[in-house]
Amino acid sequence: MSMLNKAMDFIKMYYAENDLPEEQMNQRLGEVEQQITEHGHYTHTTDELAYGARVAWRNSNKCIGRLFWQSLQVKDQRVIIDEEIIYEKLLEHIDFATNDGKIRPTISIFEPKKVRIWNHQLIRYAGYEQEDGSVIGDPDSLAFTKQCIELGWQGNGGQFDVLPLVIQIEDHPPRFFDIPQEYIKEVPLRHPEFDWFADLHMKWYAVPMISSMKLEVGGITYAAAPFNGWYMGTEIGARNLADEYRYNMLPIVAERMGLNTTSNSSLWRDRALVELNVAVLFSFKEDGVSIVDHHTAAQQFKRFEVNEASADRDVTGNWTWLIPPLSPAATHIFHKQYDNTKKSPEYSYQKSPY
Ligand code: ARG
């Protein structure tokens, strides 16, 4: 589809869903058409952009948290094309979204073509490969950590070193900026019954802020549009800290629990997983940091499905992502099918800049 067609579809959807008058719509359609024929692109109003970003969340087939799509806070940062000011705006995003633990779903949208953020998430832990091939920190960050070091960043070589923000304008060399400690909210993990759990010194950061995906709205692609919600506990407890190719903590937790790790059928992995996830939810809640367990998230997703049906819209979804990695069959999602057709506006992956 051409940009013009995508733009027309989007503008029509925006006016229809927001119950705006038809004459205004026709005027805007004319304006947009003129901009596209004259310049090959057009500029969204701040309201169109905010609506587009929210609907893109509503259309995120992999996301179980879509009930809250209308609450997304949108920061229009399109006028800024200076690395240092973008850095400041990213710190503002982190601070606003973190909100001392009462996390606010937020997106900052930068100039569509000229800005690129190299990070996968605004806050994420570095990963360092050791001589023997093992990894300290998050193995998923190995390639990006190498890039940061090449740019001149010096990591501490620890398990939980927060990576710098790496910002690139057009084809200039990327620049890196450290995130001041006071912006980084983290939750040390402890367990409501196992006192030894805290001695494992596990922690995770409070807010997942995806910064590597692009946002497409009405034919315009925003390459730098970092967004966040709050965590579902399993993302941390059943994946980031549990996957063998991530922090791989299950053997250590199981051993401290006194389980028989020589027998698969002792279900030591499953039992360790549950307790690790209990610790994640317990610690975040005790620290007043927003988080949702997978049962509640599935119930919220059910409400989203009901809402969408009453608005006469189909819910698309990617079943393989929607089911939680822990006790999937205990949620309704497991027991039905989802159509994974993509809709616009949408968030999607884009080619890595490095
Ligand atoms: N799964 C990713 C992580 O563990 C975060 C993805 C976005 N998650 C979210 N709850 N909005 O870091």
Q: Which atom of ligand 1 is nearest to the CA of 229?
A: 11
Q: Residues 114-172: pLDDT tens digits?
A: 999 999 999 999 999 999 999 999 999 999 999 999 999 999 999 999 999 999 999 99
256 CB-near residues (< 8 Å, 6+ apart): 194, 196, 197, 200
Q: Classify residue 198 as exposed, middle or buried by CB count within 10 Å of its CB (0-12, 13-18, 19+).
A: middle
Share of the chain above pLDDT 90, in %: 100
Please state the pTM of the whole predicted model: 0.98
Q: Residues 163-209: pLDDT tens digits?
A: 999 999 999 999 999 999 999 999 999 999 999 999 999 999 999 99
CA of 15 to the centre of ligand 1 (A): 32
Which residue's CA is the closest to the ligand 1 atom numbered 5?
A: 208
Contact 220, 42 (CB under 8 A): yes
Residues with CB under 6 A from ligand 1: 208, 210, 229, 231-232, 235, 240
Pocket test for ligand 1, best of 106, 187, 227, 231 (most atoms within 8 A of CB): 231
Contact 324, 237 (CB under 8 A): no
Which residue's CA is the closest to the ligand 1 atom numbered 11?
A: 229
Q: Catalytic residue at 256?
A: no
Q: Residues 261-270: pLDDT tens digits?
A: 999 999 999 9
Model pLDDT, residue 48: 98
Contact 118, 169 (CB under 8 A): no
Which residue's CA is the closest to the ligand 1 atom numbered 7?
A: 208
Q: Which atom of ligand 1 is nearest to the CA of 236?
A: 4
Q: Catalytic residue at 235?
A: yes
Q: Which atom of ligand 1 is nearest to the CA of 231?
A: 10
**DSSP secondary structure string, 170-201?**
TTSPPEEEPPPGGG--EEE---SS-GGGGGG-
